[in-house]
Copies of this chain bind each other. A is one copy, B any other.
Amino acid sequence: VRETFHGGLRQLGIDLTSMCHHAAGAIRAATEALLTADLAAAEQVLAEDAGLDALRDRCEEQAHVLLALQAPVARDLRTVLAAVYCADKIERMGDLAAHIADTARFAYPGHVVPESLTSVIADLGSVTSAMADRLGELVSDHGPAGHAELDHTDETVDELHAQILTAVTRASWEHGAAVAARLALVSRFYERFGDQAVSVAKRLDFIVTGEVQSPSQA
């Protein structure tokens, strides 16, 4: 029975890792679509989001089966509950990437991001996709310091998000209210993507230590 239980947990870990890399790829592709006004790329991100939903559902079902048949306790129970929590958050990361792709699609053939902010958006895309890829590694490695690490990286995301908000709300902004509103929302999607990655890393630490750690108020 233990064999089966740990086989089930291993499958959960494989699915979660795969979800992380899927989310990383989605936000990388969505950023590219946004910056180059690439309609086909945007539509592909939107179409592929269903794959992440399906993996989330599979994780939940798998967790349900493990709980019902094996009645785990202590660390095993924490691990199964954490897997359900993490699958939900990573699926949400995919949704946020899809929102970014949808913004590109909606604006097509127009460009959403003015020249002066393309490097900030490119940085948001590369930092957040790196966070999701790192999360995939943390799921496989069971390292205990992932939360502190991703929380630190997330400060960069917050700074980039603040740069966008400052730019669109300063008096000298010259691209109009519609572009300002759209960019504020897009930037917020990246910021939330980073937040979810941090909350997943926090929960992974919790499996290892049994304690919720708070390096900051994330």
* Residues of chain A whose beta carbon lies under 8 Å from any beta carbon of chain B: 63-64, 67-68, 71, 73-74, 77-78, 81, 84-85, 88, 165, 168-170, 173, 175-185, 188
Contact = CB atoms under 8 A, between A and B. Distances in A.
Copies of this chain, complex-wide, total: 2
A4 to B, nearest CB: 16
A53 to B, nearest CB: 10
A68 B64 contact: no
Contacts of A176: 177
Q: What are the 8 A-B residue pairs with the smallest beta carbon separation, nearest first?
A: A71-B71, A177-B180, A169-B178, A181-B184, A180-B181, A177-B177, A68-B73, A173-B177
Contacts of A178: 168-170, 173, 180
Given A81-B64, A85-B88, A183 B180 contact: no
